[in-house]
Structure 1
Amino acid sequence: MDKPDRPARSATIIDVAARAGVSAMTVSRVINNRDGVRPETREAVESAIEALSYTPNTAARSLVTSAELRVGIVYSNPSAAFMSEFLTGIFEEASTRGARLILLKGEGGAPPARPALEKLAESGLSGIILAPPLGEAPIVLNVLRGLGRPIAAVGAYNVPDATCVRIDDRRAACEMTQYLLELGHRRLGFVLGNPDQAASAERMAGFYDAVRDATNVEVKVAQGDFSYASGLIAGEQLLDGPSPPTAIFASNDDMAAAIVSVAHRRQLDVPRELTVVGFDDTTAAVTLWPPLTTVRQPLHQLAAEALAVVASEAAGSNRKTRRRGERVLDHDIVKRASTAHPA
């Protein structure tokens, strides 16, 4: 007996754009009968629509042309503390602007599946905010970049067709490392973040900027991925051996908290026998003992600035007037009880 065919997935505007060899924005212009499309391009789009039996989402089309600000938030971050503060900043800014938020979450730090991204793209968005690490995820950018909607990529570097909203990770990491050197530490450990994120490389570069000119410095490095679990593994690696670091700089607070846990398990006093510092200044930095010295990344302000960028660009009637590039916010070094002079 023949098996019944599975129902075919409905074509999306992304499918039409790919078949016609144009951007999703061009398809939108053809659907809405707008000017600025060459006759041969219009014909190619209309042929693709017919071949794929594409039916435009009329609800989404009406929303896109309305005055309502509808912003898609795409996120997937292994740090619950980071995302809690980030989303709080988004919600607060959205409430002041009367913006409607549409959230799409990936699991375990991975991007959402392509069908979910395509569904989001079809929902009539005014703009999109990509939370770390998705501002640099190829599958996300490939689906959303062609929509012609403003994109704010938080914590990202050099993303085409998007505005990157971030701090200067390299300078922040350099300043934190200089602080450790000023305390007298010369055996330093460093835990890298997710290797797929540019911010991880920038923080490592800042660490090496500081130690390069210092004398008699021993460096030991371990790979992490910004998760607590990876911090536990990195902490064990760094503290093994006859000459372990007297200070460890982790690339985020979750990994720093894990290293404090490893130190406690080894009956090392923090900070008398081991100094530990982190990055972000999330709630994880102040919910353990001792509270962490850390780089304060203004997560509320980064999120609010990203929404402000999207709102400003969405309000521009001409895409050529939209400003691309970067918004770089200030950071701080927050000194707490996890640091001390070496024993």
Structure 2
Amino acid sequence: MSGVSPKTVSRALNDEPHVSARVRQLVKDAAAKLDYHPNLTAQSLIARRSFLIGLTYERPSPSYVVDLQNGALDRMHNGRYRLVVLPFNHASERPEELGKLLLRTGLDGVLLAPPACDQIELLDLLDRQGLPYARITPQKDLARGIVITMDEVAAGQAVASHVLDMGHSRVGIILGDPAHAASLARLEGYRRAFAEHGKILDENLIVTGDFTYAVGYDAALDLLRRDPAPTAILAQNDDMAAAALAAARALGLAVPDDLSIAGFDDSEVSRTAWPQLTTVHQPVSAMAWDAADRLIARLDATPDGPTLDQRHEHAHALLVRGSTAPPPAHHD
């Protein structure tokens, strides 16, 4: 129907190079008229490839997981690659076990979200076995593999500077899971902001959470029951910031009149909370899309193809909303 050879049909349907846009569309139009759909299993057997790309992550907030998956799925929409989601807990303690899981799954490649993206033992295993990977927001050994980054230190510095600029000096901090290198990077950003403003970061006001609402709630209560209590709380994700908002209300505190709260991620909960949360926009979907795109480009690369860019940094943005204001002493 399209008037070209079977090989050209194959190349067009698989979005391979060396096919003009006109011929590619001609073939796809013919396939649509014939209601023809390539059999992915048969393709896998012939090519001796699975056309499966894994995505592994560990206990992040639900909205972060959704953004990760949606970004990767958007890139694979209507393509021959399919996404296999592989959540795995305690990757920092069991990197070899995670690596064996990824290898057993028969993947063509894998997207590594935190904290797996920073496990050097895991990267060593994948390199030895020749399994291509793309790393989403790693903090270590950035010369390895495809690397999609955001400046976590600068993002942490921006949100801390925001509350310091408004006059806060007694600032509580709820860290994320210490196994995530991004948590330490954001803390470094807070420290830089305090140093830049000539203020002292009270180490006794730094408590550890794990990016979950429940632990964030308990951590916020701990901070707010201290004497004197902080006038602002920086939580390292929006789930914990929303938990801090609930804890403040449980103690009869008004946000932002009595207490300012800022989160991180710009997840849906930051927009549905009241007041809406000041937060750092982290382009999770865009980074997952980018990681999947570059990984697929590597998997489909030909010897005479263009050189692929292995690293790309995405920008963050501070979003100031209703949950932050000057401390009580600054109000009229």
Please report the TM-score for the alignment, with normalisation by the length of structure 1: 0.74
Q: What is the aligned length?
A: 285
1:313-324, aligned counterparts within 5 Å? 313-317=298-302
Distance 2:201 2:96 in 1: 45
SS at match of 1:279: coil
Q: Which residue of 2 aligns with 1:176?
A: 159
Q: Which residue of 2 aligns with 1:336?
A: 321
Deviation at 1:327, TM superposition (A): 2.0
Which segments of 5 or more consecutive residues in structure 2 lack a partner in the other structure? 1-40
1:109-128, aligned counterparts within 5 Å? 117-118=99-100, 120-128=102-110
1:297 is the counterpart of 2:282 = yes
User: Contact 2:194–2:201 at 8 Å: present in 1 too?
Assistant: no
1:204 is the counterpart of 2:182 = no
More displaced stretch, 135-144 vs 328-337: 135-144
Distance 1:60 1:145 in 2: 28
Distance 2:307 2:101 in 1: 25
Deviation at 1:120, TM superposition (A): 3.8
* CA distance 1:224–1:315, change in 2 (3 Å): same
* CA distance 1:216–1:202, change in 2 (3 Å): closer
Distance 2:121 2:46 in 1: 23
1:254 is the counterpart of 2:228 = no
Amino acid at match of 1:134: A
Deviation at 1:103, TM superposition (A): 2.1
Amino acid at match of 1:202: A
Distance 1:309 1:297 in 2: 19
1:269 is the counterpart of 2:254 = yes
Amino acid at match of 2:174: V
Distance 1:278 1:64 in 2: 49
SS at match of 1:128: strand
Identity %: 31
1:274-325 CA-partner distances (Å, limit 9, x unpaired):
000011111121222211110000011011011012012112346xx87585
Q: Which residue of 2 aligns with 1:105?
A: 87
Distance 1:323 1:157 in 2: 21
Distance 2:90 2:130 in 1: 29
Distance 1:330 1:180 in 2: 21
Distance 2:276 2:76 in 1: 31
Q: Which residue of 2 aligns with 1:76?
A: 58
Tell me the C-alpha RMSD between the 2 structures: 3.1
Deviation at 1:147, TM superposition (A): 2.5
1:165-212 CA-partner distances (Å, limit 9, x unpaired):
121000011111111112121211112222122211110010010101
SS at match of 2:86: strand
* CA distance 1:64–1:253, change in 2 (3 Å): farther
